Amino acid sequence: MHLNPITSKKFALVASVAVAIFSFIIYYRPYLWLGFLVAIGSGIITFIIMQSEKIQRYRRSIVIYYALVTWIGTLVIFSFIGLISLLKWVNGHLRVYYYGGMPTVGTALVPCNFNLPSVSVGISLWGTETGIEAIGGLPVVWPTSVFYFFLLVLFPFLLTAFILGRGFCGWICYFGGTVDIFRSSKNPRWILSRFRKKYQEPGKSNLVVDGLREDVKDIKYGVAIGLLLLAIGLVIPVICIVCWTWFIQYFWLGIGALIVFILFVIVLPFMTGKRTWCTILCPVGALINFIERITPFNVRINPKKCTKDYSCTTVCPMYSMTRQSINEMYAPNVDCIKCGACIEQCPEKAIDLYLLGTSRKVRSWFIPLAISTGMFWYIWFVIIIIELLPKLIQ
C-alpha cells in the first residue's frame, strides 16, 4: 500500500535543513568533518522519509543503524579496555546518585546509562578535547546533588519520553532496533494463539484471535515495578538496576539474561514478526506507557474512512492495533510505538498521527523530531568507534 508524501517539498526541505543544523551543532565539536557528514546524512534521510510513500523501510533502517552503532561501539570499547581491566572496573565501579567530593567534570569511556545524557550534551556544549589519548574518554558532568542528578541524568530521558511517548521505542531505541534486525517481515510462523485474546466482533457470533491477553501484556509492568522497588530498596538509581554490569558480576543472572535475550529478541521476533520484547517484557516501554496518553503525538483512525478490513492489525509489530481497539476506540492501544506500519497499510488512508486533542495531522512534525533526537542520543558510540576502532585494527 502506498502513501502520498506526508508534506510538501517546501516543508520537507525546511524540516530537513533544521534537522541538519541540529545534527551539525551536536557533532561538529569532536570533528568538524563529522558534523558536516552527520548533518548531510540526517538532512537527506529526513527529506526522503517525508517525501516517500513508504516509510517503514527507512524507519527500520534508522533504528537498526542505532542498534549497530551501539553494539559495535560497546564491543570496540570492551576490546580496547581488555577483559582483565574491564572486570576490575565492573567489580569496583560505584552505583550511587552522585559522587560526593568528586570533581564535577571528568571523562568516561565505559558505556553507562548514568552518564549518557551528559556525554551527549557535554560534547556539543563544552567539550574542548577529543581523542582517547588526550582525555581518556568522553567529557561528562557528574551530579553533585539529587537535584543535579535529576537535571543531568533523568531530565533528558523524561523529556524524550514525554515528547515522543512510545515513539521512542519505534524510532530511537537501540534495543528495539536490535529486535527489528531479527524480526521477520514474512507471514508469521507462530501466532502465539495461547497468549492471544479471543474477541467477538459486534454483530457477529464467532470468536477471532485478536491482540495479546491483558495479563500477558501486563508482565512488563510487573518487571518495571519490581525494578523500581529494587532500586528503592538498594538506594541506587533505577538506571543502575538495569545496568549490564550485573550480568557480568553474577554468572547465573547473566545466563538467564542471555536466555531471555535469545528468546524474546531473536527467536520470537523471527517466528512471529512482532516486537515481543517491547510488548511483553520491556520495563522502559512500560514506564513510558504511564504517560503515553498525554504525549503530544497519537495515532488515530478516522471513523468516517475506516472500512474495518483490519489489514492494519496484521502489520502492527506490537499487537497494538487490534480489532477490539478499532471497534472501541478507533485507535491502537497504549503500546503503539508510532512506527507507521498501520498508516502505510491502510487502503483507505484512514489512519494518521495527530496532535493530542486536535484533528491536526502531525507526521511532518514527529519525524524530524524523532530523527533529531536519535542523532543526539547516539553520539557517544559514534565518537568511540571513530576514536578506537582504528587503534584496534592497526
Q: Which residue from 28, 228, 239, 70 is spatially nearest to 143, judged by alpha carbons?
A: 239
Structure confidence at residue 393 (pLDDT): 83
User: Is the residue at 368 inside a domain?
Assistant: yes
Residue 340: strand pairing partners: none
User: Is the residue at 270 inside a domain?
Assistant: no
User: Is the residue at 337 inside a domain?
Assistant: yes
310 and 341 in a single domain? The answer is yes
Q: Which domain holds residue 377?
A: 9-172+364-393
What average pLDDT does this structure show over 61-80?
Answer: 93
Structure confidence at residue 125 (pLDDT): 54
User: Is the residue at 113 inside a domain?
Assistant: yes
Q: List the single range of 301-310, 333-342, 384-393 with lowest mean pLDDT.
A: 384-393
User: Is the residue at 383 inside a domain?
Assistant: yes
Q: Which residue from 308, 313, 300, 336 is spatially nearest to 217, judged by alpha carbons?
A: 336
Range among 37-41, 91-95, 111-115 with highest mean pLDDT value: 37-41
300 and 381 in a single domain? The answer is no
Selected residue with higher pLDDT from 116 and 354: 354
Interatomic CA distance for residues 376 and 54, integer angstroms = 25
Selected residue with higher pLDDT from 298 and 53: 298
Task: Kindly report, residue by residue over 118-159, the tens digit of the pLDDT.
Answer: 777 766 554 444 444 444 567 777 777 778 888 888 888 999
Q: Which residue from 162, 182, 165, 167 is spatially nearest to 343, judged by alpha carbons?
A: 167
Q: Which residue from 327, 314, 341 is spatially nearest to 191, judged by alpha carbons?
A: 314
Percent residues over pLDDT 90 in the chain: 57
Domain CATH code at residue 338: 3.30.70.20
Task: Kindly report, residue by residue over 182-214, the tens digit of the pLDDT.
Answer: 998 888 899 999 999 999 888 888 899 999 999
Amino acid at 246: W
Q: Is the dihedral of CA 11, 17, 20, 26 positive or negative?
A: negative
Structure confidence at residue 129 (pLDDT): 46
Q: Which residue from 373, 375, 376, 380 is spatially nearest to 107, judged by alpha carbons?
A: 380
User: Is the residue at 331 inside a domain?
Assistant: yes
Structure confidence at residue 230 (pLDDT): 92
Structure confidence at residue 147 (pLDDT): 80
Give the model's confidence band at 93: pLDDT under 50 very low, under 70 low, under 90 confident, else very high.
confident
Question: How many structural domains are present in the chain?
Answer: 2
Where in the chain does DSSP place strands (E)? Answer: 105-108, 138-141, 196-200, 207-212, 297-301, 351-355
144 and 83 in a single domain? The answer is yes
User: Is the residue at 291 inside a domain?
Assistant: no
pLDDT of residue 98 exceeding 90, the answer is no
Mean pLDDT value across the chain: 88
